[in-house]
Structures are given as structure tokens and as C-alpha cells.
Structure 1
Amino acid sequence: MLNVQFREIMIHLAGTAPAHRCYILLHTPQPPSEYPAKYATPVQRALLLRTAKWGGSVNFAWSEDQKSVCARPPGEEDKQEYHLTAFAHPRGKLEATVSMDNIEEVGERLRVHAEGVSGVTSSNSDDVHLYVCTHGARDCRCGDTGGAVAQAIRDELRKRRDSDPSDPSTCIKLAEVAHVGGHKYAANLLVYPHGEWLGEVEPEDVPEILDAILALPARPRNADETPICLRHWRGRMGLSKDEQVQLLQRTYDI
């Protein structure tokens, strides 16, 4: 049995990840530190309307390395185009370009991908995508702690790669995201394609978390697989909140 303090930490976090079957990220040219407190666009709202009914969730992401389309000027937001990356269980990653002109087509493509229909291609990449919420205008804890954790990840990845250019961490891609829910759990770190949500991450936790992630295959975690980073585990893609709690209880007999 686990000690009482550790048990309370796990129960406090488990089940706080919102239930979703597919997480969809629209790439923006500006980082979350520049987003307004409540950030939405016509394409994002339209895509969410079409995907939420089957378990899709739509957010914004930024990285120096990811492709993005320049923002349209004020008054032309409905003409904006986005590169997107989506993760679903069991098929993993899907990439596309979306605008109001092809919103129906992309929405259907995402649904088919999330439902795992045979014959639909998906990425076989070994890349691991880490998303840290740094949306400071929404909540300063995300801006401060999230920003510090994102920088700690960058520093740790740079250190490992400078030491060994073939280090396994070369497969990790870091990005920052808008509000994910749970400001009080900042810093929040989402791990895909695994589908794991981590919370209450501090900069000093980064090396241990990276090691735990790199020890796993880069694919969506199944419903009965052991949660990673126990002390930080909020939940998993594809599981309801009750199922997230039950998985933790079964795994660790708490």
C-alpha cells in the first residue's frame, strides 16, 4: 500500500483531465503569452461545434518549429487558415490544413480518424509531442509556472542533445498551448500521442518526467496501461473522469 500523503496526492489529481477522444491543435504564429484571456476564432468555434459531439477538443498551440499561417488582419478572421495536428486513440497523429472553406471535410476526416476506421492513414512517427499551458492572460499561474516549465524542458533537451546528438530526446517536440482547464494544477503538461495529462509540474521535475516518457513507445496508451508519472497524473485521452480514477485505483490498489 502507498503511504497516506502519496495517496492523497494521486486522488487529488486523478480524474481532472477532461474526457476526450481526440485532441486537436490549431497552430498559431504567436505564442500563448500573447493570446487574450479568452481566445477563440471562427475556425476554432466551427471545428469545435463539429467535433465536440463525438469527443473532439480544439485548442491553439505554438512552437518555433511548427508550421503556421500568418494571422489575417482584424475583420478577416473568418478567412484564417490553420495547420492542425490532432491526436486520437487508437490511431495516433493526424495532420491537416483547415479553414472555413473546408471545415466540413476536415471535421469528417477527424471523426473517421478518431473512430479508428480501417483504411484511414495516420502517422507512424516516433515523435513525442509535449504541450505546456503558458496562457498567462487566462491565469498567471499558467504564465509563470507553465513558462518556467517550458523553459526547463527546452534547457534539458538542449543539454541532452549537446551531450549526445543521437540522444533519444531528439524525438521530443515541445510546444505551448492555450488554456487546458485546471489553472490550480499549473504547470499542466500534455503528452501525445500517449494521451497523458500531467499537472503540478515544477521545473525540477522535468528530467524525471522526460525519462519516464522516453521509456514508453510513442503511441496512444491503452485503457488499462499503467499511468505515467504517478505523482503528476491527471488522466488520459479516451477515458472518462471516473475511468481515470478507477484506473489509478486498480493499478496502485488505493
Structure 2
Amino acid sequence: MRVHNLRQLGRLYSTKTSADSLREPIAGTVLEHHLYLVLRIQNPIRALESRRVLPLRIDIQRALLPHNGLVNLGYVTEDRLWARSEKLCSSQLASHGSPQEDEFDDEFEEDRHEEHYDAVAFAPERPPLHVKGITRNNFEERVDTVRLVQRDLPPLRRFEPGEYDGPVHIYVCTHGQRDCRCGEHGGGLADALMEEVKRRRTKQKGKGWDRVVIGEVAHVGGHKYAANALIFPHGEWLGELRAEDAPALLDALAVQPFSNGEGVTRPPLMPKHWRGRMGMSMDEQRRFIEDYLEIP
């Protein structure tokens, strides 16, 4: 098994200051899940009520809960980037013999007053899958489509480090109406990430920054770890981030691109801020840090 110098990372990470030694561990604080579905909304998360009741979202969550799926609301400012992500995902499906996204998405007549969503689904070690037009009338069918990314998307393409050419989504919790820390720290981080990605797209053309989607999500759990960021398809959850961490987060992604090659164990992204990973139980997250990073 290739471990990508995890032991060396562990030695670096285990060198703590006295203040760090008193800090509550954040690894192992992510609820176990094997699917994450982001329902795109048109209004900013920062303005979202504390506990917005959305019947369709609740129905989708109930349908996916038996399959260890989590559902959240997401906001992506730039339509162009969302559309590019859809196109990249569709191209990837076609390139390795899987049914294309368009085959899943029948046209529907939009009712401005009806709750409906376009969405993107993520599962461990899988590329993303976009799903369009989820409504009250078709959500059961769309849930079956969502589960394709989790269980039935054949064949599973293997990406060695550096081979993945699909979209990367970074979602920051900015739900300030739920907790002011998410609004303050999350909002600052989201703004800093958007600015830094724009800068890199201009100065580092051809380096893949045009495939990075920065979005905002509602409550993810763990207000005290704000700012929280979720990175897909890696499935990483990071916490205790600040706006000044934006360049380091993007640098870490550049050094550790998504891979799911046979026998490859991906190290945690930004170990100091690592809360957990999709596909792992909370105990497995803690053991992962202890075993591979040698934290006493």
C-alpha cells in the first residue's frame, strides 16, 4: 500500500506547541455518511433562516437516510462554474462507458412557486454526478438516480494521482442565522477562497483552477469548529479555518489531487484542520489519524 509519506506528515503534525496540546481534537467529529447531496438554491445561505422548513428537502433526506446519505442546501454564485461542472461530469461518464447524465434528466416544466432543485451528488471514491430538476412529482425517481453514484455507476474509473480532470467542489458553511460563528468565519473564508481561486485562474492558466467550484452550504454540524469546509470528490471535512487559510487550502489541493487508485491511501487534507472523511465512521476517522499520523 502506498501511503504517500503519511508517517512523515504524522511526525510533523505531532510536533505541537503547548497551546496546541490543550486544543480539543477535531478529528473524528464528522457523522458517518456514504453519500452527500447538495441541493442548489438561488438565495444566499447567509440570508437563510435559522431552521427553514422545506418539505421536499425533508422528503429527500428521509429517502436517503437509510443509505447513509446526507442532504444540504448549497449556493453557488456563478452559473458558469456550475454549468462547467455539469459538462465535465457528463463528459467523464461518457468517457468510461457509463450512462450520461442527460439520460437521467427528463425535461420538467418549472413552477416558480414549487420547491425544486438542481443538485450534485458525491460518494466515496467516485466522481460527482449532477441531477437536474428534482421536484415533488419526481423526487423518488431522482433519489434512485442519485444512488447511482453510490452503488451502480459502472464501471468505477480509477484515477491515479494527477489523472483526475473533473470538477472539485469546495463548500463552506456560511449559515450565520444558525450560528454567528459560521457567518463570521465561514463568510470570510468563502469570500477569500473565491478571490484566491479567481486570482489563480488568471495567473495559473491551465493548472485546473477553472474546474474548482466554490460554494456555500447551510448547517453542517459543529458550529464550534467554524469555519467548516467540505471538499469533494475527496470527501474531506475541514474545520477551524479562517480567511487567511484560503491559499493554504488550495495549495493542499494542488499537492494532493483527488485519486482513488488501487492500494492508494490518501492522507488527510490539512491534518491540523481535518475533521473527518466521507465513508468513514467517527471511530475510523480517529483511528486513521492515530494510525497514520501517529498522534499521541
The alignment's TM-score, normalised by the length of structure 1, stands at 0.88
Q: Aligned partners of 1:133 and 1:207: how far apart in 2?
A: 18
Query: How many residues are aligned here?
Result: 246
* Cα distance change of structure 1 residues 120 and 164 upon mapping to structure 2, 3 Å threshold: closer
- Out of 125, 139, 143, which is 2:179 matched to? 139
Q: Aligned partners of 1:64 and 1:117: how far apart in 2?
A: 29
Indicate conservation of the 8 Å contact 1:195/1:220, yes or no: no
Matched, 1:246 2:287: yes
- Out of 125, 130, 135, which is 1:95 matched to? 130
Q: Aligned partners of 1:206 and 1:220: how far apart in 2?
A: 25
Structure-2 residue corresponding to 1:14: 27
Matched, 1:231 2:272: yes
Amino acid at match of 1:93: P
Greater Cα radius of gyration, structure 1 or 2: 2
Give the superposition deviation at 1:71.
8.3
- Out of 230, 253, 258, which is 1:218 matched to? 258
Q: How does 1:1-254 map to 2 (within 5 A)?
A: 1=11, 2-5=14-17, 6=20, 9=23, 12-66=25-79, 72-73=112-113, 79-97=114-132, 98-116=134-152, 118=154, 125-219=165-259, 224-254=265-295
Q: What SS does the corresponding residue of 1:51 show, helix, strand or coil? A: helix
Q: Aligned partners of 1:253 and 1:64: how far apart in 2?
A: 40
Indicate conservation of the 8 Å contact 1:199/1:232, yes or no: yes
Gaps of 5+ in 1: 74-78
CA-to-aligned-CA distance 1:89-134 (integer Å, 9 cap, x gap):
232211112111111111122224212453699xx75211000100
Identical pairs, percent: 35
The alignment's TM-score, normalised by the length of structure 2, stands at 0.76
Q: Aligned partners of 1:112 and 1:240: how far apart in 2?
A: 22
Give the superposition deviation at 1:138.
0.3
Amino acid at match of 1:110: V
Q: Mean Cα displacement is larger for which, 49-58 or 38-47?
A: 38-47
Indicate conservation of the 8 Å contact 1:92/1:220, yes or no: no
Indicate conservation of the 8 Å contact 1:223/1:239, yes or no: no
CA-to-aligned-CA distance 1:13-39 (integer Å, 9 cap, x gap):
101112110100100010101110012
Q: Aligned partners of 2:22 and 2:202: how far apart in 1?
A: 39
Q: Aligned partners of 2:207 and 2:244: how far apart in 1?
A: 20
Q: Mean Cα displacement is larger for which, 99-108 or 53-62?
A: 99-108
Indicate conservation of the 8 Å contact 2:259/2:266, yes or no: no
